Chain A
Amino acid sequence: MIAFVVRRLLRLVPILLAVSFLSMFIISLAPGDYLTALRADPQISQGTVERMRREFGLDRPWYVQYVLWLERAVLHGDLGESFSFRVPVSALIAERVANTLLLALTSSVFAWGIALPLGIAAGAYRDTWIDRLGSGIAFLGVSVPRVLLALLVLYVSVGSGLFPAGGMKSAATYDLLSPWGKALDVLWHLIPPAFVMGVSGLAEVTRQMRGHLLDVLGADFVRTARAKGLPERTVILRHAARNALNPLITLFGFTLARLLSTSLIVEVTMSWPGLGSLTLEAIRRQDLFVVMATLVMASVLLVIGNLVADVLLAASDPRIKAIA
């Protein structure tokens, strides 16, 4: 098992190298660079722009920049400085990564909390109206474009007065609250974006749960349990569902790993102060080091997420353990 984990972790290195290299290449394809936008300002002279270009190191070809970046990142742990903010990239990311993780975890809990029971019900009462309804609800989530759903949710929040119109904290009153009050405030702000994010994850999980449950229900041990005269509910919930959960662990790892992509739209439309809005703006402005750091970090999350899922799976299923 340890060997398995170590091997997978070692694989991380070439992947990260490839990912960072590809990222730098793709960014370099875009015309201009961060300073191009400044040139549009008639008040800023050519000379100033050239000076800034030299200072940022943007006057070198992209592969040279890549090597310099790699050297700094690996040898000094320095991910560079943001051109927009003039602060170290690590500081920028550190501030926001917690917010994005919070949002991602909450939305996952929400999505899975609904999807699992829904999937079990749909599988248990297959081909009845419960099944159809469950599928319908699940599909509803994936079928509405996220940008539209975000706007609608905000609109309804404001119209009803029940939830805030985006953001993470109540701007004016947050500082006056007690620690409990602060936590509640953030939680209250968390509900609309978590809902929008979670709703789209519903379908996949529901269908998978349903499918796996049906698989398991045909297995021998279920037949045995039924033959023993156990009530159907115990058969399904205690025996079948628990086994059906195993393959879903990989799905969880995968979902968690994709959280940066999925949170982008939600963070931007609902002004959640996370990594998504930072990275989008950085890509648009070609804020090189921020984009590099985020892309690399996203890859790390992805690979580690999958690794964790695999480990969990292997740990729970002796057949896999044997193969690994």
Chain B
Amino acid sequence: MIRIRSVSSWLLAAAIGAAEASCSRRVEERAAAIPAARPEDALVVTTITPARPGGSIVVGSLAEPKSFNPIVGSETSSTEVTYRIFDNLVELDCAESAYRPGLAKSWDLSPDGLRWTFHLRRGVAWADGAPFMADDVLFTFRAIYDSATASPDRDDLTSGGKPFRVTKADDHTVVIETARTFGPMLHVLATSAEIVPRHVWEASLAEGRMAEALGIDTPPDKVFGTGPFRLEKRETGRTVLVRNTRYWKFDQNGTRLPYFDRVLFVNTGDSNGWRLKFDAGEVDNYLVRPEEVDEMRARSGAGGYRVVDLGPRLGTIHFWLNQNPGRDAKGNPFVDPRKSSWFRDLRFRRAVSGAIDRDAIVQTVYRGYAVPIRGPISPGDPRWYNPEVPAQPYEPDRSRALLSEMGFRDRNGDGFLEDQAGTPVAFTFHTNAGNPVWINIGHLIESDLAAVGVRATLAPIDFNALVTTIRETYRYEGCLLSIASSGDPASGTNVWLSGGASHEFNPRQESPATEWEREVDSLVAASLSTADYPERKRLFDRVQVLFAENLGFIYLVSDEIHLAIRDRFVNLRPGRLRAFHNVLWNEDEIAVREPR
């Protein structure tokens, strides 16, 4: 059924003609112009099968890249492009879940934990031939901390409220000093500090125009880094990256990576468009929706592709009741005091959690391709998940018992409970109106709670309005939302800490309102002040247990990630840690399969 560009191939073959000859001429010209020397500290990748260079891959995307500036860009559509153009000091191996040397070939930490010394690779060159040096690292940090740039990465790169002190010992040694011991240093360097070339952008930073630099209107020959690819051309709907002939990684045969000649990003509009393009053979990857998994698996043989199951994603979908006891400017409480007292009663939250049938959500909304979760970290996170966290069982009878214990009865025979004063046990909860999956989950929650006598009403609202409500006005009763995880809980301190802005159910407390939140605060502080992973894990395990037991957030499910990828690629090492890059994160190592 799948004819990969059958008619198109015939039509275009007629039109290609002499274009083929001119094409090969172009590649040759480029190759001849740049004699690239092998760097002194080149990296030889041993975990892959050596292959022959050539071929290209077309990657589907759901939006246009907004910018090629890794310091300013935060959206997936932009970062998936900059990820292939720029490198970090440290790399994150998504398949092994480990941090390995990037532009820094090694590093040391001083005994007091405050001074990191990074030894940079020698002989690495930028794509235009200029040498990569410590000054580039210093420049990058200056740009990130620059107030005119207002980079979102800045907050990740602070410790004890202060930015790092970044200096150089010599041209290939960078020293980073922190105010306090900073455990997640490797993680933030691997995910938030892409190194940009000083000699190209120093002037922009000096003029205060760093945020506009490396935009989509920048000439492509200025958009490059030390990464495996550089920008060849960009237009609406399509971004083309071409091989960086000066890349510093090699395979065991001495062939310089990457193998691909080109990586193309195509904006497919919406999921339907993406799926159809994938079926037509126009793109090579596809993020499979849960209802499509079985169908696509059945057709994978004929279609020449594979469906890769990556397990549960790193994020969680959860629900919470507003426990904020505050008042607004006019003195009105955010939540009706009567309901507020219910929400702050652990029995009520346990009743709500026990009434929700997470398996039904998994089966109905995700067609079986999700897992119920117990705590804030999903089982898909191999480094931080604590399997000892107590489960959240489906026990509606116990919920009814708890509600009865709180004094709720159905006093008027309408099937729903009322309290002693006759107030109906009812509340409204919000979710993102633009996300039909969450709306479906919300409906199931409504049904489940109705079965135990609680009248919950779902009121989907526009995303911007939702964020304004939960972050500014605080006038709401419940909310159903999802949180993504970056792979290190240090990035989520705003969520764990009682004083954090993202501690949604009761944010920005001046002092912890409950014992368990006080304990969480001290555990998080302790975990941030050590760089020792086992110690951090131990502390954070306890944080997960506390969150699960006290149901500040009621955790529901994490959906599983399935990706479809064409059969003709080798050296794939699927990993879960980078959204949208899950199968292609090591694109510098992936190659087209040799025809047999």
Q: Do chains A and B touch in the complex (CB under 8 A)?
A: yes
List the interface of chain A (C-beta within 8 A of B). 30-33, 36-48, 51-52, 55, 81, 84-88, 91, 95-96, 99, 151, 154-155, 157-159, 161-162, 164-178, 180-181, 184-185, 188, 268-271, 273, 277, 281, 286
Closest 6 CB pairs of A and B: A181-B15, A271-B269, A273-B236, A273-B237, A42-B502, A165-B276
Considering the chains assembled together, what is the distance between the CA atoms of A268 and B62 in angstroms? 11
Q: Contact between B235 and A273 (Cβ–Cβ < 8 Å)? A: yes
Q: Contact between B276 and A154 (Cβ–Cβ < 8 Å)? A: yes
Q: Contact between A161 and B19 (Cβ–Cβ < 8 Å)? A: no
B45 on interface, CB distance cutoff 8 Å: no
Q: Contact between B19 and A181 (Cβ–Cβ < 8 Å)? A: yes
B452 vs chain A, min Cβ distance (A): 31
Q: How many residues of B contact A (CB 8 A)?
A: 73
Interface residue from B11, B16, B237, B268 paired with A169 (Cβ < 8 Å): B237
A149 vs chain B, min Cβ distance (A): 13
Interface residue from B16, B151, B280, B494 paired with A158 (Cβ < 8 Å): B280
Interface residue from B233, B273, B501 paired with A154 (Cβ < 8 Å): B273
Considering the chains assembled together, what is the distance between the CA atoms of A258 and B196 in angstroms? 45
| Chain B contacts with A in 483-498, Cβ cutoff 8 A | 483, 486, 491-492, 494-495
Q: Contact between B279 and A55 (Cβ–Cβ < 8 Å)? A: no
Q: Which residues of B contact A177 (CB under 8 A)?
A: 12, 15-16, 19
Of the candidates A32, A55, A88, A162, the one having the most CB atoms from chain B within 10 angstroms of its own CB is A32
Q: Contact between A185 and B12 (Cβ–Cβ < 8 Å)? A: yes
Q: Is the interface of B mostly helix, strand, loop or mixed?
A: mixed
- Supply 5 further A-B pairs (C-beta < 8 A) apart from A85-B67, A178-B18, A269-B269: A165-B279, A167-B282, A170-B12, A173-B16, A185-B12
Interface residue from B3, B18, B468, B483 paired with A161 (Cβ < 8 Å): B3
Interface residue from A51, A161, A166 paired with B268 (Cβ < 8 Å): A166
B266 vs chain A, min Cβ distance (A): 5
B72 on interface, CB distance cutoff 8 Å: yes
B17 vs chain A, min Cβ distance (A): 6
A33 vs chain B, min Cβ distance (A): 8
Interface residue from B7, B217, B235 paired with A162 (Cβ < 8 Å): B7
Considering the chains assembled together, what is the distance between the CA atoms of A172 and B283 in angstroms? 9
Q: Contact between A31 and B238 (Cβ–Cβ < 8 Å)? A: no
B294 vs chain A, min Cβ distance (A): 19
Interface residue from A31, A85, A170, A172 paired with B468 (Cβ < 8 Å): A31
Considering the chains assembled together, what is the distance between the CA atoms of A161 and B7 in angstroms? 6
Q: Which residues of A contact B471 (CB under 8 A)?
A: 39-40
Q: Which residues of A contact B172 (CB under 8 A)?
A: none
Q: Contact between A86 and B268 (Cβ–Cβ < 8 Å)? A: no
A170 vs chain B, min Cβ distance (A): 7
Q: Contact between A166 and B211 (Cβ–Cβ < 8 Å)? A: no
Q: Contact between A277 and B152 (Cβ–Cβ < 8 Å)? A: no
A300 vs chain B, min Cβ distance (A): 21
Mark contacts of B202-244 with chain A using CB atoms, 8 A cut-off: 1 yes-contact digit, 0 otherwise. 0000000001100111000000000000000101111010000
14 pairs across A/B with beta carbons < 8 Å?
A42-B491, A42-B495, A43-B486, A85-B66, A87-B215, A88-B217, A162-B7, A165-B282, A166-B269, A166-B276, A172-B262, A180-B15, A269-B270, A273-B237
Considering the chains assembled together, what is the distance between the CA atoms of A36 and B469 in angstroms? 10
Given A158-B276, A177-B15: A270 touches B269 (CB 8 Å cut-off): yes
Q: Which residue of B lies closest to A81 (CB)?
A: B212
Q: Contact between B8 and A86 (Cβ–Cβ < 8 Å)? A: no
Interface residue from A31, A43, A84, A178 paired with B66 (Cβ < 8 Å): A84
| Chain B contacts with A in 455-478, Cβ cutoff 8 A | 462-465, 467-468, 471
Q: Contact between B267 and A178 (Cβ–Cβ < 8 Å)? A: no
Q: Contact between B212 and A87 (Cβ–Cβ < 8 Å)? A: yes
B430 vs chain A, min Cβ distance (A): 13
B155 on interface, CB distance cutoff 8 Å: yes
Q: Which residue of A lies closest to B65 (CB)?
A: A85
Of the candidates A40, A45, A174, the one having the most CB atoms from chain B within 10 angstroms of its own CB is A40
A197 vs chain B, min Cβ distance (A): 15
Q: Contact between B467 and A40 (Cβ–Cβ < 8 Å)? A: yes
Interface residue from B63, B147, B233, B266 paired with A281 (Cβ < 8 Å): B63
Considering the chains assembled together, what is the distance between the CA atoms of A52 and B149 in angstroms? 9
Q: Contact between B464 and A86 (Cβ–Cβ < 8 Å)? A: no
Q: Contact between B212 and A86 (Cβ–Cβ < 8 Å)? A: yes
Q: Which residue of A lies closest to B17 (CB)?
A: A178
Q: Which residue of B lies closest to A275 (CB)?
A: B236
Considering the chains assembled together, what is the distance between the CA atoms of A43 and B500 in angstroms? 11
Q: Which residues of B contact A165 (CB under 8 A)?
A: 273, 276-277, 279-280, 282
Interface residue from A37, A96, A166, A173 paired with B463 (Cβ < 8 Å): A37
B461 vs chain A, min Cβ distance (A): 9
Interface residue from B1, B23, B72, B462 paired with A176 (Cβ < 8 Å): B23
B272 on interface, CB distance cutoff 8 Å: yes
B20 on interface, CB distance cutoff 8 Å: yes
Given A43-B152, A161-B6, A180-B15: A171 touches B269 (CB 8 Å cut-off): no
